[in-house]
Structure formats: structure tokens, C-alpha cells
């Protein structure tokens, strides 16, 4: 996409930089519908919308996050909880 005469494109982070992966497949359709509400802001929306269901699920079914700074040590293993290490109960514990 070109903005103000400058070509813009996504620059993915390297795989090793991912510190947290959150399983979001239960909310994948909600995420897809939310993005659809902003289609006028996404030049490539029609390509997203045309993806087959299994590719849609892969796109919206997992959230990847990168820790910029932390005051707690999460160690070297990937976390599955964005609030890991800051105390309190996990969401799964409240739902159960």
C-alpha cells in the first residue's frame, strides 16, 4: 500500500522474538467480524475476506505478542497468559 508516496508493508518480527502466544480460536469469528467493521481502513480487506475458512482460522485463531519490557522474569519459555507473573488468579481458574 502506498501512503503519501511511500510504499508501506508489514514487517514481521522474527519467530524467536515472540514471547507469548495466546490461543484465540474461540474468538476468531468475532475478530474477523470486528476487522470487517474497519474495512474502509484496510486496502487489503477484500483479500482477507476471500480467504477460505481454514486460512481465516489460522489468521485469527492465535495471538502473538512481543514483550517490550518487563519487571518480572517470564523465563525463556513462551507464555500463554499475557498477565503471567504479576499475581492473581488466571482466567481459567475464575471460569472453572
Domain limits for position 55: 25-60
**Is 51 in the same domain as 67?**
no
Counted domains in the chain = 2
Residues 31 and 58 sit within 8 Å (Cβ to Cβ): no
pLDDT confidence of residue 49: 78
The pTM of this model reads 0.61
pLDDT confidence of residue 76: 75
In sign, the C-alpha dihedral spanning 16, 22, 24, 30 is negative
pLDDT confidence of residue 86: 75
Point out the residues of the chain with pLDDT beneath 50.
none
Within a domain: 6? no
**Is 37 in the same domain as 48?**
yes
Please report how many Cα atoms fall inside a 13 Å half-sphere around the Cα of residue 81, on the Cβ side.
12
Within a domain: 66? yes
Amino acid at each position: 500500500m502506498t501512503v503519501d508516496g511511500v510504499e508501506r508493508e508489514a514487517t514481521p518480527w522474527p519467530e524467536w522474538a515472540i514471547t507469548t502466544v495466546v490461543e484465540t480460536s474461540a474468538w476468531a469469528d468475532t475478530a474477523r467480524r470486528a476487522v470487517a467493521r474497519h474495512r474502509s481502513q484496510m486496502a487489503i480487506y477484500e483479500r482477507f475476506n476471500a480467504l477460505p475458512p481454514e486460512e481465516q482460522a489460522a489468521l485469527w485463531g492465535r495471538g502473538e505478542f512481543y514483550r517490550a519490557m518487563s519487571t518480572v522474569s517470564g523465563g525463556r519459555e513462551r507464555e500463554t497468559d499475557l498477565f503471567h507473573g504479576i499475581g492473581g488468579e488466571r482466567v481459567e481458574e475464575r471460569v472453572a
